[in-house]
Amino acid sequence: MAKILLAEARFYPHLNDMLLEGARTAVEAAGHKHETITVPGALELPAAISLTAKSGRFCAFVALGVVIRGETYHFEIVAEESARALMELSLQGFAIGNGILTVENEAQAIERADPRQGDKGGHAARAALALYDLREKYA
Q: Which residues are catalytic?
A: 74
Which residues are part of a known binding site for (2S)-2-hydroxy-3-oxobutyl phosphate?
71-72, 112
Dump the DSSP string for 84-110. Answer: HHHHHHHHTT--EEEEEEEESSHHHHH
Helical segments of the chain, H only: 13-29, 45-53, 74-91, 106-113, 120-138
* Distances in whole angstroms, Cα of residue 134 to Cα of each of 2, 44, 115: 13, 27, 25
DSSP state of 10: T
Contact 48, 6 (CB under 8 A): no
Which residues are part of a known binding site?
11, 42-44, 66-68, 71-72, 98, 112
Q: Is 6 helix (H, G, I), strand (E, B) or coil?
A: strand
Which residues are part of a known binding site for 5-amino-6-(D-ribitylamino)uracil?
11, 42-44, 66-68, 98
* Distances in whole angstroms, Cα of residue 133 to Cα of each of 1, 52, 96, 121: 11, 20, 12, 18
